Amino acid sequence: MALDKLTGEHSAIFIRSEQLFDVARRKSLWYMAFGIACCAIEGLMHASGPKFDFDRMGVFFRASPRQADVMIVAGTVNWKMASTVRRLYDEMPEPKWVVAMGACACSGGPFREYPNVVMGVDKVVPVDVYIPGCPPRPESVQYGFITLMDKIKAQTGERLAAARHDGR
Amino acid sequence: MTVARGVLERAAVAASIETVESLGAVCRVSSSDARKALVALRDSDLAVGFLVDLFGIDTGEAVDIVYHLRSFARDEELVVKVEHGYGSTLESVWDIFPAALMPERETAELFGLELAGHPNPKRLLTTDGCPPYLRKSLVVRSAEEVRDRASQHVDATSLDRTAGSLAGGFAEPGVAEPGASLDATPIPAPKPLPVPRGLKRAPSGVDIENSDRLVLNMGPQHPSTHGVLRLILELDGEEIVSGEAVIGYLHRGIEKLAESRRYSAVGTLLDRGDYVSGIHAELAFALATEKIAGIEVPRRANYLRCLLGELNRIASHITWYGPMGLDSGAMGPFLYTFRDRETILDILEDITGQRMMFNYVRPGGVVNDITTTAEAKIRAFLDEFAVHVDENDELLMGNEIFQARTQGIGVFDRETALGFGLTGACLRGSGVDWDIRRDRPYAAYDELEFDVPVAEEGDVYARCAVRLEEMRQSARMIRQCIEGLPEGEHTAKVAKVLRPPAGEAYGAVESPRGELGVHLVSDGTDSPYRMRYRPPALYALQAGEAMLPGLLIADAVVLMGSMDLILGEVDR
């Protein structure tokens, strides 16, 4: 297959297991089916619908946090919700990533003045990718995922460089 | 009006009745007489048996509790206002009008009143320690506070799930913040309403540690609750013994923030309330504003409002239909129907510039005229939708498994449906022939030709059938709007900063979920004094909650799916 093209027939390639795992992680980012507000319609429903079809990027939804790699925070987080968001994040297995989708998850959006609203989900969980927009188009979410894939790739490189430095 | 006066005199209730032009008859009674007056009005020949809405208005000196009643028999509206002092006790009327169950809890917590005589006197939307947000003396975060986002400090230990977890309960949710923004004269903090702490007791009151009942917690993260709804179900085997809906996970203050927005910008918030059918919420607000300000809307604008509204209705029904299939175990309908939704969103984007959050309908008309490319797109869509809708009909409604799972499940008879304040397709599925588009025509609906589908059974299947037929009727109306679109202006001449005279008005539209009303109070400034959003989905939710006992878990999922809940609207 693709590797054969790179290396020619009957040849062996050497790859660090770390790299191999990260290729797999990058290409199968399963997100948790966890829609909070308006963004969920665009970022989860239309994304998995027939036109945008995120499945072809390996991005697919799982109902349980135990099986998910990515949490898309799609909507406004208020104080009643915040503990649940944190709890779901804690339940996801490592390695895990968080995408803050839309203005509300990034900074509170149009509701930031209301004291019950958390001004950005990064107050509650660490965020990897911020997607602006109210709501962002599914294309933006797609771009967000591509950015996340690049980020994972870069992290692999950093980790390997660090390992080489340690002489492992 | 004179009839209402007679009824109240016979019941020996002192009342002052006046007629507000844009609202109807308004009675004011004292808080001690409120229950007596409501019983008298319900049982008299006025027959005001339908509670449209219950909410509060902070007048600056006290809280006015407003009971908005309707008589279907006489086709009349009646508003009863009762004054309550801050921190006083609100006497529950749920045994007179069951529809008051959830709105009463909400009103009590957001205005800092105590609730008496209520079967479940807990907070509905917020957590313990939150101040009464809808009081006028509580100001929202200032621009400086918002800009200085980093200053908002979250204590990591408060997010630990062992620290008060189950009720979503922070003991002190960001209390430093609202406290800091209060006026110099502090509001006497209301006695905190009890919030369930842990699940020592099931919703029915049974001590679950010593019984074989199981308490199952569905949500707020659950794939079939359509958002952040949480259902606490008490189970005996697979049968539900009692159930409680917990909401408020998306409470973000649309009503409060509208008090600090200009009239043209309130639509931005309303769009995000009922986020799959924004046009309808905008339209309800525009209608209420136009009633107060006395704006005449051009005919072309009315047609455009209908056109966009009906397109949006189809898009919204598709968002209900696809997940309804998912809930009952069918993946196909979701994929098939979302083709059409993409096409509609393309058209809406063409006309309004946005896929979901339009802010297109403003007081006076609409923002811009229809684009030149839109008409051809709409015609092409209508042609293919006529085929698709029949296909969808067969795909799900003709499926034997689906029929077996929905027929005879979650039956609302006529009286229950009216008692719980159901509107829209849920009410018509129970055999009540009431559609605001036909019975209280707004925009251009009096010039359009359409049928109102009604089903008698009142079960899940009937509600589905009504919605499917509504999609066909909407397509019919869209064609009429396109063909009969009159020439002229798309908006009336309205001041850029609109300052309607002081007054009150109620504007209601038939949104895909039912009667979406906006009760607007103006004080003559450039932003509303109080805007109440009547959420049809909240009333549908409390009716569904009451229907849970006796069902199986799988039926509860289907029942909640058929109520078409949008949590953004339930929590506001």
Interface of A with B in 63-122 (CB under 8 A): 63, 65, 75-76, 78-84, 86-88, 90, 104, 107-108, 110-120
Q: Is the peptide bond before B131 cis (omega within 30 degrees of 0)?
A: no
Q: Is residue B148 part of a domain?
A: no
Distance CA B195, CA B199 (A): 11
Contact B260 A34 (CB under 8 A): no
Residue of A nearest to B229 (CA): A36
Rounded Cα distance between B69 and B56, Å, is: 14
Shortest CB distance from B140 goes to which of A34, A113, A120?
A: A113
**For residue B164, pLDDT beyond 50:** no
Considering only CB atoms, which chain A residues are within 8 Å of B337?
none
**Residue B125 resides in a domain:** no
- Nearest CB among A83, A90, A137 relative to B168 is that of A83
* Distance (Å) from the alpha carbon of A88 to chain B's nearest alpha carbon: 8
What confidence tier does A164 reach under pLDDT thresholds 50, 70, 90? Answer: confident
Determine the residue among A30, A101, A113 to mutate to test chain B binding: the one whose Cβ has the most chain B Cβ atoms within 10 Å.
Answer: A113
Residue B269: closest C-alpha in chain A:
A110
Q: What does DSSP say about strands B230-236 and B76-84: parallel, antiparallel, or unpaired?
A: unpaired
How many beta carbons lie within 10 A of that of residue B398, not counting itself? 10
Q: Residue B40: is its pLDDT beyond 60?
A: yes
Which of B98, B116, B134 is where one domain is finished?
Answer: B116
Residue B530 domain flag: yes
Nearest to B522 by CA among B506, B509, B533, B508: B506
Of A106, A38, A36, A98, the C-alpha closest to A71 is A98
Distance CA B534, CA A25 (A): 46
- On whether residue B388 sits in a domain, the answer given is yes
Is A77 in contact with B251 (CB distance < 8 Å)? Answer: no
- Contact between residue B286 and residue B316 where contact means Cβ atoms under 8 Å apart: no
What confidence tens digit (pLDDT) does each residue in B307-319 have? 999 999 999 999 8
Q: Is residue B138 within 8 Å of residue B180, measured between CB atoms?
A: no
Question: Six-digit token pair at A93?
Answer: 């297995």
Domain extent for B87: 2-116
Cβ <8 Å between A36 and B127: no
Whether B219 contacts A77, CB under 8 Å: no
Residue B473 has pLDDT above 70, yes or no: yes
How far is residue B538 CA from its own chain's centroid? 5
Give me the CATH number covering residue B68.
3.30.460.80
Band of the pLDDT at B193, cuts 50, 70, 90?
A: very low
HSE value, Cβ hemisphere, 13 Å, CA-based, for B524 = 2
Contact assessment for residue B515 and residue B424, using Cβ atoms and an 8 Å cutoff: yes
Handedness of CA A87, A91, A94, A95 (dihedral sign): negative
For residue B177, tell me if it sits in a domain.
Answer: no
The last residue of a domain, from among B95, B116, B137:
B116
| Model confidence pLDDT, tens digit, residues A111-139 | 888 888 888 888 888 899 999 988 898 89
How far is the C-alpha of B72 from the C-alpha of A161, rounded, in Å? Answer: 75
Measured CA to CA, the distance from residue A127 to residue A147 in angstroms comes to 13
pLDDT in tens, B399-411: 888 888 888 888 8
Domain finish residue from B60, B84, B116: B116
Q: How far away is chain B from the Cα of A19, in angstroms, using its nearest Cα?
A: 33
Task: State what percent of residues in chain B have pLDDT above 90.
Answer: 17
Q: What is the pLDDT of residue B122?
A: 78
Instruction: Enter the tokens of residue A11.
Output: 């040849």
**What is the helix (H) or strand (E) element at residue B240, kind and residue range?**
strand B239-246
Distance CA B164, CA B169 (A): 5
**Prediction pTM value:** 0.86
Work out how many domains chain B is built from and give that number: 2
pLDDT tens digits, residue range A142-162? 899 999 999 888 888 787 787
Facing residues of B116 across strands? Answer: B91
Contacts of A35 in chain B (CB under 8 A): 227
Cross-strand bridge partners of residue B515: B510
Q: What does the alpha-carbon distance between residue B316 and residue B309 come to, in Å, rounded to a whole number?
A: 10
- ipTM at complex level: 0.82
Chain B residues whose CB is inside 8 A of the A83 CB are: 159, 161, 164-165, 168-170
Domains along chain A? 29-138 (3.40.50.12280)
CA-based nearest residue to B522, from B514, B513, B531: B531
Q: Does A41 touch chain B (CB under 8 A)?
A: yes
Residue pair B215/B233 in contact (Cβ under 8 Å)? The answer is yes
Q: What percent of chain B is helix, strand and coil (3-state, nearest 5)?
A: 40, 15, 40
pLDDT exceeds cutoff 80 at B174 = no
Select from B474, B396, B466, B468 the least CA-distant residue to B429: B466
Dist. CA B255–CA B533, nearest whole Å:
7
| Token pair listed for B125 | 């939307």
Tell me which chain B residues have a C-beta less than 8 angstroms from the C-beta of A103.
Answer: none
Is B453 within the bounds of a domain?
no
Q: Quick check: A135 and B356 CB within 8 A?
A: yes
CATH of the domain at B359: 1.10.645.10
pLDDT for residue B87 is more than 70: yes
